[in-house]
């Protein structure tokens, strides 16, 4: 490759320019090869050997490769590492390349097989079974802005489901957090896109183009039948479809008619709330330790994906919630039939994803078999459920979607073998008896093979060479092979054999009869494969025509699986059906945290249940008590109970009455966000500000330790003002945990606020955490006891006790930090005179317990005080 680039490298560079920032998988025989920087990057990610091929610019060209037959495994690792891959396939055979070269006047010896990028593989456009997580949706999202409104189009191309919605600028992050997308597409230069978003030309996000694309795809003259889509939604749809056409090189995957998502249909939760409550992933990012991991009892991947969607977007429509709850209760009340149903569903194929691969043109005979088996199983499940009494309304609406595929399943039953293979190149998936001509071709091929076996026996007798064998390989085809010491008998001119190849210990021959028989086998086999391929395309077309009905069947099966799984989880844990009301209340008896309870159960421990009763006249609870006493758990468990109820499931409690919550907010714990330049306290304040700006009287808010990230005075002042705002300005249901005992004074001026604490006691110097909630203020924080429990050295704890006693004494003498705060008008503009400067040196001297100091400590302290006095004087 030194000097002038070879034709192959010229072709490679042209394809690489087309691939842009994607890694280029360049097909060479049985391998996908990567070159230059692509090779270096891929070799490091895949942990494969980096070699070289020729030279470029006087330097060896880095190269690595992966086998075509195992490419999916390598693609999965590259996609997980954040790469995009362009697949460059050979689009003509070597023979066709030679014919083309001759036509173009190029020597056939220099004919280069034409290659083209047939597909881009990206995180949001996967359909292959090996590249997808069965229990997680794989969403591609596109964003567009039209006249100040943000449109969002989301699609899981593995199942074809497409949803359009819009939101305000300030709510984009919350919407994207709900969608948990794999890839996002935005207009070029757009500032609202998330990190790592794919940028495309702004012209692709036009609303007129989006509407026209949807009309073309679904063969309609108007989109009115699908929903009243805004310009912003259509612009996002246009960007999404354009991107799909780009990665598919002109071909589109399965896209079902778009659904309209109204912002008023689902409970709103911002990104911080979702992270805090660990709904779909724990703080570490894994599924383990999350809410869905604790409650998911679905037996199908489609059911698990739908459950995640339910939890991500709990309903606001009371009637729809009650429909889901009634179906869960119906399954809960009949454990025997529930068990039979779940056993029948356990081996259901993933209908939606098999359909997605078929419509995208990436289907296999196995996918055809999955459609056949899934539709047959759906009909049997429908017959089973239809026989049961008192069918709930939701199930009655789902049952018709489980049948109606009789003609298609009859066709697939007749056409396919019981267990079709994954690969179609070798045939063998069309059933015997479906096509008489195909059966005849197979018979010819089979008879010819028997004829070759007879020929081998005859040649042994004629030559007297018992070791003679007729073999086959991909280069020579059929040939006769004898050991070298017997070759002379076949070399004679009148032997009827023609010499083909001499090996180290064997000699290979041909014969006219063998050549004729091999030709008949090849011709029959080729015709048979062509006939199977034609049937495959016909069956694919039939499935594509029925795609929307099949998708409805898949969706109905998923909903049934979710409801039966929710009932199973409720039966396991003794969960109850919540009562959904319109009043702004939250009345829970014996509530429990589903994730913590499950974790304790694994270690043989019991979770301590607690009640929570927030009523219009007692809607804000101020909760004190020690760290590790269960305050945060109590706050989160009630938020999760609300979420589970409005998602349409039973809840971990003895009883629950829940007034519909329009927005759920959780500010429990915070950490630095260094990427955005935010400290822990800044993150805390940003989250608190969002709550104060967005919460309504129908919201539910949980707040934990507001103000702890700054000084005591600042923190108390902020916590005090936030409590007043939540109580009197927003007037929503709220659980507020704090260590500021001074906030108890607010009970005197806030009539809907009540005081509570988590119980603890000290026994023989040890702290005993009871994890029980009681009425009334906490007597103290037990901070020193918790420090001792955590292993802080005894000398440090003893010193802290001395300092605490002095601080408590000072607070008692001055009336405490909150003295006089009760007289402040709510949010009045206060202009106070500046406090006189404090004598910090005198304060330090007053805090010293001289008797407790060792000689060395006293000397060190004297040096410190002297240095401080000099600094103050200067």
What pLDDT score does 1 carry?
43
Predicted confidence (pLDDT) at residue 770 exceeds the cutoff of 90: no
What pLDDT score does 525 carry?
81
Cβ proximity of 207 and 146 under 8 Å: yes
Provide the whole-model pTM: 0.85
Q: Which two tokens stand for residue 253?
A: 């995957």
Note the pLDDT tens digit of each residue in 477-532.
899 999 999 998 898 888 889 999 999 899 999 999 888 888 888 888 888 999 99
Note the pLDDT tens digit of each residue in 8-56.
888 999 999 999 889 999 999 889 999 999 999 999 999 999 998 877 7
Q: Residues 701-711: what's their mean pLDDT?
A: 82
Higher-confidence residue of 191 and 483: namely 483
Q: Which two tokens stand for residue 785?
A: 């006891």
Q: What is the DSSP string of 765-834?
A: TEEEEEEEEEES--S---HHHHHHHTT--HHHHHHHHHHHHHHHHHHHHHT-TTTTGGGSPTT----PPP
Query: CA-to-CA distance for 48 and 803, rounded, in angstroms?
Result: 61
CB count in 10 Å sphere of residue 451:
15
Q: Residues 66-89: what's their mean pLDDT?
A: 92
Higher-confidence residue of 679 and 607: namely 607
Q: Which is it for the CA torsion 74, 75, 76, 77, positive or negative?
A: positive
User: What is the bridge-based pairing of β-strands 477-483 and 506-511?
Assistant: antiparallel
Predicted confidence (pLDDT) at residue 825 exceeds the cutoff of 50: yes
Cβ proximity of 117 and 23 under 8 Å: no
Report which DSSP code applies to 114: P
User: What is the bridge-based pairing of β-strands 579-581 and 506-511?
Assistant: unpaired
pLDDT band at 834 (very low <50, low <70, confident <90, very high): very low
**High-pLDDT (> 70) share of the chain, %:** 89
What pLDDT score does 245 carry?
94
Predicted confidence (pLDDT) at residue 768 exceeds the cutoff of 80: no
Single out the residue of 505, 471, 468 nearest to residue 489, CA to CA.
Answer: 468
Note the pLDDT tens digit of each residue in 137-147.
999 999 999 98
Cβ proximity of 164 and 173 under 8 Å: no
What pLDDT score does 833 carry?
39
Query: CA-to-CA distance for 171 and 152, rounded, in angstroms?
Result: 11
Q: Any known ligand binding at 625?
A: yes
Q: Which two tokens stand for residue 301?
A: 């991947």
Instruction: Tell me which H or E stretch contains 631.
Output: helix 631-646
Q: Which is it for the CA torsion 267, 270, 271, 277, positive or negative?
A: negative
Rounded mean pLDDT of the chain? Answer: 88
Q: Any known ligand binding at 610?
A: no
Cβ proximity of 144 and 184 under 8 Å: no
Cβ proximity of 758 and 739 under 8 Å: no
What pLDDT score does 829 carry?
41
Cβ proximity of 43 and 64 under 8 Å: yes
Query: CA-to-CA distance for 652 and 654, rounded, in angstroms?
Result: 7
Q: Which two tokens stand for residue 181?
A: 């997308």
Q: Any known ligand binding at 627?
A: yes
What pLDDT score does 49 carry?
92
Q: Which domains does the chain have, with CATH numbers?
A: 7-121 (3.40.1170.10), 129-265 (3.30.420.110), 299-405+546-573 (1.10.1420.10), 438-537 (1.10.1420.10), 579-823 (3.40.50.300), 840-873 (no CATH)
Higher-confidence residue of 867 and 756: namely 756
pLDDT band at 310 (very low <50, low <70, confident <90, very high): very high
Predicted confidence (pLDDT) at residue 457 exceeds the cutoff of 90: yes
pLDDT band at 725 (very low <50, low <70, confident <90, very high): very high
Query: CA-to-CA distance for 194 and 112, rounded, in angstroms?
Result: 43
pLDDT band at 586 (very low <50, low <70, confident <90, very high): very high
Q: Residues 287-291: what's their mean pLDDT?
A: 94
Q: Which two tokens stand for residue 26?
A: 């360049």
Q: Any known ligand binding at 629?
A: yes
Place of tokens 């778009």: 258
Kindly tell me the burial class for residue 854, based on how many C-beta atoms sit within 10 Å of its own C-beta (0-12, 13-18, 19 or more).
exposed
Q: What is the DSSP string of 177-210?
A: HHHT-SEEEEETT-SSSPTTPEEE-GGGG-HHHH
The β-bridge partners of 86 are 24, 120
Q: What is the DSSP string of 472-489?
A: EETTTEEEEEEEGGGTHH
Predicted confidence (pLDDT) at residue 183 exceeds the cutoff of 80: yes
What pLDDT score does 672 carry?
44
Query: CA-to-CA distance for 330 and 338, rounded, in angstroms?
Result: 9
Note the pLDDT tens digit of each residue in 335-358.
999 999 999 999 999 999 999 999
What pLDDT score does 674 carry?
42
The β-bridge partners of 628 are none
What pLDDT score does 109 carry?
63
Going by C-beta distance under 8 Å and a sequence separation of 6 or more, which residues neighbour residue 596? 607, 633, 637
Cβ proximity of 139 and 267 under 8 Å: no
Note the pLDDT tens digit of each residue in 635-647.
999 999 999 999 9
Higher-confidence residue of 671 and 328: namely 328
Predicted confidence (pLDDT) at residue 252 exceeds the cutoff of 60: yes
pLDDT band at 261 (very low <50, low <70, confident <90, very high): very high
Instruction: Tell me which H or E stretch contains 851.
Output: none
Q: Residues 700-721: what's their mean pLDDT?
A: 84
Q: What is the DSSP string of 538-583?
A: HHHHHHHHTHHHHHHHHHHHHHHHHHHHHHHHHHHHT-BPPEEESS
Q: Any known ligand binding at 630?
A: yes
Query: CA-to-CA distance for 432 and 444, rounded, in angstroms?
Result: 14
Q: Residues 723-735: what's their mean pLDDT?
A: 95
- H-helix segments, 20-60: 36-46
Report which DSSP code applies to 346: T
Buried b (16+ CB within 10 A) or exposed e, 24-51: bbbbbeebbbbbeebbebbbebbeeeee
3-state secondary structure of 682: helix
Query: CA-to-CA distance for 190 and 145, rounded, in angstroms?
Result: 9
Kindly tell me the burial class for residue 402, based on how many C-beta atoms sit within 10 Å of its own C-beta (0-12, 13-18, 19 or more).
buried
Backbone angles phi, psi at 769, to 5 degrees: -90, 120
Single out the residue of 147, 136, 236 nearest to residue 185, CA to CA.
Answer: 236
Q: Which two tokens stand for residue 213?
A: 């694309």
pLDDT band at 816 (very low <50, low <70, confident <90, very high): low
Q: Any known ligand binding at 233?
A: no
3-state secondary structure of 740: coil
What pLDDT score does 813 carry?
63
Angle at 753 between CA 748 and CA 754, to 5 degrees: 90
Angle at 758 between CA 755 and CA 759, to 5 degrees: 115
Q: Residues 568-592: what's their mean pLDDT?
A: 97
């Amino acid at each position: 490759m030194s000097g002038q680039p070879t034709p192959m490298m010229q072709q490679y560079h042209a394809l690489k320019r087309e691939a842009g920032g994607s890694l280029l998988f360049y097909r060479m025989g049985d391998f996908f090869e990567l070159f230059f920087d692509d090779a270096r990057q891929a070799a490091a990610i895949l942990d494969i050997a980096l070699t070289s091929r020729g030279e470029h610019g006087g330097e060896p060209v880095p190269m690595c490769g992966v086998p075509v037959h195992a490419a999916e495994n390598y693609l999965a690792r590259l996609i997980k590492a954040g790469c995009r891959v362009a697949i460059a396939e050979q689009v003509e055979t070597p023979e066709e390349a030679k014919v083309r070269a001759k036509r173009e006047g190029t020597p056939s010896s220099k004919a280069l097989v034409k290659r083209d990028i047939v597909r881009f593989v990206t995180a949001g456009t996967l359909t292959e079974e090996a590249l997808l997580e069965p229990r997680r949706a794989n969403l591609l999202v596109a964003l567009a802005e039209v006249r100040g409104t943000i449109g969002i189009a989301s699609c899981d191309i593995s199942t074809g489901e497409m949803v359009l919605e819009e939101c305000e600028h300030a709510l984009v992050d919350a919407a994207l957090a709900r969608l948990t997308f794999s890839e996002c597409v935005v207009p070029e230069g757009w500032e609202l896109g998330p990190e790592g978003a794919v940028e495309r030309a702004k012209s692709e996000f036009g609303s007129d183009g989006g509407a026209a694309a949807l009309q073309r795809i679904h063969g309609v003259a108007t989109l009115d039948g699908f929903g009243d889509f805004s310009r912003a939604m259509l612009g996002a749809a246009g960007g999404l479809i354009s991107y799909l056409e780009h990665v598919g090189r002109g071909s589109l995957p399965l896209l079902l008619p778009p659904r309209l998502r109204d912002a008023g249909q689902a409970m709103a939760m911002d990104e911080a709330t979702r992270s805090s409550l660990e709904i779909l992933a724990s703080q570490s990012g894994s599924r383990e330790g999350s809410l869905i991991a604790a409650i998911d009892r679905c037996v199908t991947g489609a059911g698990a994906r739908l459950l995640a969607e339910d939890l991500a977007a709990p309903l606001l429509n009371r009637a729809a919630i009650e429909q889901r709850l009634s179906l869960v209760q119906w399954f809960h009340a009949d454990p025997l039939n529930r068990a039979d149903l779940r056993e029948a569903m356990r081996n259901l194929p993933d209908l939606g994803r098999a359909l997605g691969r078929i419509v995208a043109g990436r289907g296999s005979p196995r996918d055809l078999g999955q459609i056949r088996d899934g539709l047959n199983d759906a009909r049997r499940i429908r017959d089973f459920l239809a026989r049961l009494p008192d069918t709930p309304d939701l199930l009655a609406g789902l049952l018709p979607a489980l049948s109606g595929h009789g003609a298609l399943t009859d066709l697939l039953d007749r056409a396919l073998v019981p267990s079709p293979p994954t690969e179609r190149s070798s045939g063998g998936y069309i059933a015997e008896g479906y096509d008489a001509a195909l059966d005849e071709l197979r018979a010819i091929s089979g008879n010819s093979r028997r004829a070759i076996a007879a020929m081998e026996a005859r040649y042994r007798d004629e030559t007297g060479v018992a070791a003679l064998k007729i073999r086959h390989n991909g280069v020579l085809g059929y040939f006769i092979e004898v050991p070298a010491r017997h070759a002379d008998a076949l070399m004679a001119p009148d032997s009827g054999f023609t010499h083909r190849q001499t090996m180290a210990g064997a000699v290979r021959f041909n014969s006219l009869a063998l050549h004729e028989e091999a030709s008949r086998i090849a011709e029959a086999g080729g015709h048979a494969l062509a006939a199977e391929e034609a049937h495959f395309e016909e069956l694919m077309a039939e499935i594509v025509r029925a795609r929307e009905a099949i998708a409805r069947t898949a969706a109905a099966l998923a909903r049934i699986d979710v409801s039966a799984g929710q009932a199973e989880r409720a039966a396991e844990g003794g969960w109850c059906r919540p009562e959904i009301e319109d009043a702004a209340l939250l009345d829970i008896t014996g509530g429990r945290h589903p994730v913590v309870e499950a974790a304790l159960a694994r270690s043989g421990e019991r979770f301590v249940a607690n009640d929570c009763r927030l009523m219009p006249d007692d809607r804000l609870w101020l909760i004190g008590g020690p760290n590790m006493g269960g305050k945060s758990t109590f706050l989160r468990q009630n938020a999760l109970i609300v979420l589970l109820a409005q998602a349409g499931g039973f809840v971990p409690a003895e009883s629950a009455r829940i007034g519909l919550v329009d927005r759920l907010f959780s500010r429990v714990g915070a950490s630095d966000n260094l990427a955005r330049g935010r400290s822990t306290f800044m993150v805390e304040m940003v989250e608190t500000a969002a709550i104060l700006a967005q919460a309504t009287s129908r919201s539910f808010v949980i707040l934990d330790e507001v103000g702890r990230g700054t000084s005591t005075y600042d923190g108390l002042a902020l916590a005090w003002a936030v409590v007043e705002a939540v109580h009197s300005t927003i007037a929503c249901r709220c659980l507020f945990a704090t260590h500021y005992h001074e906030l108890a004074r607010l009970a005197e001026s806030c009539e809907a606020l009540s005081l509570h604490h988590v119980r603890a006691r000290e026994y023989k110097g040890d702290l005993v955490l009871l994890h029980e909630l009681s009425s009334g203020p906490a007597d103290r924080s037990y901070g020193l006891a918790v420090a001792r429990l955590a292993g802080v050295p005894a000398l440090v704890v003893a010193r802290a006790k001395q300092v605490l006693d002095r601080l408590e004494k000072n607070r008692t003498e001055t009336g405490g930090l909150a003295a006089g705060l009760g007289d402040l008008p709510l949010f009045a503009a206060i202009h106070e005179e500046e406090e006189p400067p404090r004598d910090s040196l005198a304060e330090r001297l007053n805090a010293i317990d001289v008797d407790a100091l060792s000689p060395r400590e006293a000397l060190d302290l004297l040096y410190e005080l002297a240095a401080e006095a000099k600094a103050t004087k200067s």
